[in-house]
Amino acid sequence: MASSPLAYYPGCSGLGTSMEYDRSTRAVCEALGIPLKDIPDWSCCGSTPAHTVDHALSTALSARNLIQAETIGLSDIATPCPSCLKNLKTAMARWQDPKIGPAAEKLLGKSLQERHRVRSVLQVLYEELGPEALAAKVSRPLAGLKVVPYYGCLMTRPKDLMDFDDEEYPVSMDRLLEAAGAEVLPFPLKVECCGASMGIPLNKAVTRLSGKILELAASLGADAVAVACPLCQMNLDLRQGQVEKANHAIYKLPVFYYTQLLGLALGLPERDLGLSKLNVNPEPALALIRQSRPKPAAETAATTEDAA
Amino acid sequence: MRIGVFVCHCGSNIAATVDSAAVAAAARDFDEVVFSTDTMYTCSEPGQTGIIEAIKTHALDGVVVAACSPRMHEPTFRRAVERAGVNRYMVEMANIREHVSWIGKDKEANTNKATELVRMAVEKLRLNRPLFPKTFKATRRVLVIGGGVAGIQTALDCAEAGLEVVMVERESTIGGKMAKLDKTFPTVDCSSCILGPKMVDVAQHPNITLYASAEVEAVSGFVGNFEVTIRKKVTCVDWEKCTGCGLCTEKCPSKKAYNRFDEGVGPTTAINIPFPQAIPKKAVIDKEFCRYFTTGKCGVCAKICPTGAINYEQQEELAQEKVGAIVAATGYDLFDWRAYGEYGAGRYPDVISSLQYERMLSASGPTGGHIKRPSDGKEPKTVVFIQCVGSRDASIGRPYCSGFCCMYTAKQAILTKDHIPDSQSYVFYMDIRAPGKAYDEFTRRAMEEYGAQYVRGRVALIYPKGDKLVVRGTDTLMSSQVEVEADLVVLAAGAEAARNASGLAEKLHISYDTYGFFVEGHPKLRPVETNTAGVFLAGACQGPKDIPSSVAQGSAAAAKVLGLLSKDVLESDPQIAQVTLQRCIGCGKCIRVCPFQAIRETDFRGQRKAEVIEAVCQGCGLCNATCPQGAIQLSHFTDNQVLAEVEALCRC
């Protein structure tokens, strides 16, 4: 594992609605020996509102964070949030656009120096650590937990920009969760839209779209959904009651961040993973995991050897 | 030398951006130019007459034509000067159309460049020498590679006209893709009923030698005198003895072999005859599934065979054939639609390809002509067809239209209704391309008489829900999302170049395009010729084609072969390499670079020298560029001629 730290961009939701994503990401990375260094004085990436109003503004807001990373001498940047990821990557591309780059530079009064590499934490875990190395570090396999992986629409798309995994049928999270010992079900709607921020202006868009995802997950016999996006998690978890009401259905499906599940598999204390922040009661799913016995030390050693 | 220069206007093709008259005027000052003029269409009848008259009036012994690419009209002008009594190699062309007028808008710059190209051509022509072709006897036999409907047509036409035909087919039976089809559009007549008799004719024609389960290993030689090595693959069955009785296939205990002929719909036995009408009707063992080879124990077929034809130890054999011409008719393969993650990438058993569906529709197919879902064998009531899977999609590297999918999808929708009257078909399409005779009427019938619902739009996602498949697409005419719960999804997979087409092209020394399709001599005027003399094309190996077009090309290629071999002797191209013995030091570098094995070592008064085999040399010039002594020179493109051109450019 590369020991040089990654510049870490938590994103605004990491301080609020997805506090448990940020917390579990930090805990998992620490346990796996991936040093993260917060970008000093980072600011909002502009999120959806900025780029719907002004591309130069959106580019400037995101690029500022990349420039901040330069101040601590890091150009390898990781963020857990796919929306922040898309904005940071888009900003780098738009910086080269003669119509947008100079305008953004004028707004900031600074220019982007380095050729940054921006990745999701999922991509970092998958590419730099990999499922085999992860499996070697698992002490409490998630055996008995049937989980559907849900990537959301942004993690792999648009293909040319995100440049990660199969854009229509990604498997990186599947492989990591399998390595953690979970039973990962093939999930055809893994890159479907959950309704995103339409929950506020047009709630039925979310209840319909998230409804499809939850309904299929339930019909496949899943015990839980694993996600990688704060907004997806909010729609599927916090709004699950609304979705159930609109669709006259009961799902009771806990929606974990995949980092929370990896943390459990690595034997991290539940309090470090922010499980209490989940809306749908995760206890039934957690009970399934607790039933599974810790891996005997000998087996762990053997796996490590195999991986080596 | 007395040189005449003719600068063409090509209508407005050249004259719009090149001042042809000014080029002609400038050429009058060039060395040894005694006549120069500009003409509207130099290739036209009056244009050619003008050249002939100028040769006579001005006693010209060399001509420069500044016009289009020599690939277009060099033969035309060579014939013209020959009619005026000048050697045909005393013509040079300056390409001022493709290389000048079509690619630049600045008239002044273009005119200068055109003048420079004419000066180069004049300087080269000054060093041209009359060349005389030799004649050689041609082998009046033809090799047809591929036994699909195009190759069958070529073979039968040639054989009927009295040529000996050697046909090589890599599968164990001829028939190609057409043999797998149930019905054909737009007449809905039975495919095997119209193809079967032709296949039998191939087997029975005294002039046709068929090598099935065989591939072309190597080709050497040249037009009129090709030497072909054919590799006969291991079938583990002695075809001399096999009578095609089929007893072995009945008794074979390994019944789960992959059925290539049925596209994997339903299994076959490890020893099998692909289908009842197979030609040749001979059994083949699939070693991957044969118990004798996988477990070392079995041998049932060897015990049961009444003629003792089974030979587990059979080895590959090579056969040699001499032919005068070659026709490539290697067809196409289906695009591997698993590239589409959104269609399940092969994960869902009830998402199948159009050719698999065709096998299901066929009465002699694995389901006996009953449409059954692969997952549970149930009869589907809602069938969704998706067109343009692997066609017109730049994102997966297939930007071209496969041409026949619109038609076969309409046919399959019609047949679905015939087989299951209470079924409903949906067809997702981008555009309906049905430009053939009675084609558009046929697609209308699918919609109007057979009630197929045509939805204009792409499908974004297929996912399973219970025992149904949800097909989500867009209806671009209604600007709405569409979701259909289907029992079966049929993907109209597009055509791509046949497996390893590029490898064969390299053996034949013919060009292929980005997608592996073979390149014809001219997209309009030489559709079945290639740029390699004596090698012709027929059918979908040149680009996706339906049956009528493939058959038409099969006959066209036969006509070209017959024309070529109607003469007893052929002329060889004199533009070949020649060795100046005094200069040759016998280093052998030319022998090593020659891609045609046209140079050999000889002993000249005790010294090692290179010698060109004139009949084999293709005039590529590699040896000329390689020779450290300048001893080997390509006639018509000698070092001096190339240097004269360069010098002419430097003087401009």
Instruction: Provide the percentage of residues in chain A whose pLDDT is more than 70.
Output: 94
Q: Which sequence spans correspond to the domains of chain A? A: 6-120, 137-291
What pTM was computed for the model? 0.83
Please tell me the predicted confidence (pLDDT) of residue A292: 67
Using alpha carbons, select from B317, B232, B321 the residue that is nearest to residue B282: B232
Query: Distances from the Cα of B561 to the Cαs of A73, B245, B616, in angstroms?
Result: 72, 37, 20
Instruction: Determine whether domain A137-291 maps to CATH 2.60.120.260.
Output: no
Interface test with A, best of B461, B467, B471 (most A CBs within 10 A): B461
Section A234-258 average pLDDT: 96
DSSP state of B178: G
Phi, psi of A38 (to 5 degrees): -60, 140
Instruction: Provide the percentage of residues in chain A whose pLDDT is more than 90.
Output: 86
Please tell me the predicted confidence (pLDDT) of residue B572: 84
**Mind listing the domains of chain B with CATH numbers?**
3-126 (3.40.50), 141-232+318-331+507-565 (3.50.50.60), 234-315 (3.30.70.20), 333-496 (3.50.50.60), 577-635 (3.30.70.3270)
In chain A, which residues have their Cβ closer than 8 Å to the Cβ of B345?
169
How does strand B569-571 pair with strand B135-137?
antiparallel
DSSP state of A9: -
Please tell me the predicted confidence (pLDDT) of residue B308: 95
Please tell me the predicted confidence (pLDDT) of residue A304: 45
Interface test with B, best of A157, A167, A169, A220 (most B CBs within 10 A): A169
Q: What is the helix, strand, coil percentage profile of chain B, to 5?
A: 30, 25, 45
Instruction: Check A188 against B344: CB less than 8 A apart.
Output: yes
A192 has pLDDT over 70: yes
Q: Quick one: closest CA in B to A186, which residue?
A: B347
> Rg (Cα) of chain B, in Å, rounded?
30
Query: For helices B191-204 and B149-160, what crossing angle results, to 10°?
Result: 40
Helix/strand/coil for B118: helix
Q: Tell which CATH architecture fits domain A6-120.
A: Up-down Bundle (1.20)
Instruction: Quote the strand ranges of B299-357, DSSP E.
Output: 317-323, 325-328, 332-334, 351-353
Please tell me the predicted confidence (pLDDT) of residue B600: 94
Please tell me the predicted confidence (pLDDT) of residue B608: 94
Q: Is A96 on the interface with B (CB under 8 A)?
A: no
> Rg (Cα) of chain A, in Å, rounded?
19
CA pseudo-torsion sign B511, B514, B515, B519: negative
B47: Cβ contacts below 8 Å, ≥ 6 apart: B6, B8, B39, B40, B41
Query: For helices A240-247 and A203-219, what crossing angle results, to 10°?
Result: 90
In this structure, how many other beta carbons lie within 10 angstroms of the beta carbon of residue B472?
Answer: 16
* Tens digits of residue pLDDT in A79-127: 999 999 999 999 999 999 999 999 999 999 999 987 899 999 999 999 9
CA pair distance B518, B388, nearest whole angstrom: 22
Q: What is the mean pLDDT of each run of 10 residues along chain B (652 residues)?
A: 97 96 97 96 96 97 96 94 96 97 96 97 97 93 98 98 98 97 96 96 97 96 93 96 95 95 94 95 96 94 96 96 98 95 91 97 94 96 98 95 97 98 98 96 97 97 93 96 97 96 95 96 93 94 97 98 94 92 95 90 94 87 95 95 95 78
Section A237-257 average pLDDT: 96
A301 has pLDDT over 60: no
A293 has pLDDT over 70: no
DSSP codes, A18-61: THHHHHHHHHHHHHTT--EEEPTT-----HHHHHHH-HHHHHHH
Using alpha carbons, select from B433, B429, B487, B480 the residue that is nearest to residue B459: B429
Please tell me the predicted confidence (pLDDT) of residue B455: 98
Q: Cα B423 to the chain's mean position, in Å?
A: 40
CB B536 within 8 A of CB B327: yes
Q: Quick one: closest CA in B to A166, which residue?
A: B341
The ipTM, to two decimals, is: 0.73
CA distance B544 to chain A (A): 28
Q: Is B567 on the interface with A (CB under 8 A)?
A: no
Per-residue tokens: A73: 């001498």
Shortest CB distance from B465 goes to which of A166, A169, A216?
Answer: A216
Please tell me the predicted confidence (pLDDT) of residue A305: 44
B219-234: string of b/e by CB count within 10 Å (b at 16+)?
A: bebbbbbbebebbbbb
Chain A residues 103-162 within an 8 A CB cutoff of chain B = none
CA pseudo-torsion sign A180, A184, A188, A193: negative
CA distance A191 to chain B (A): 10
A187: Cβ contacts below 8 Å, ≥ 6 apart: A148, A149, A150, A216, A217, A220, A222
CB B399 within 8 A of CB B359: no
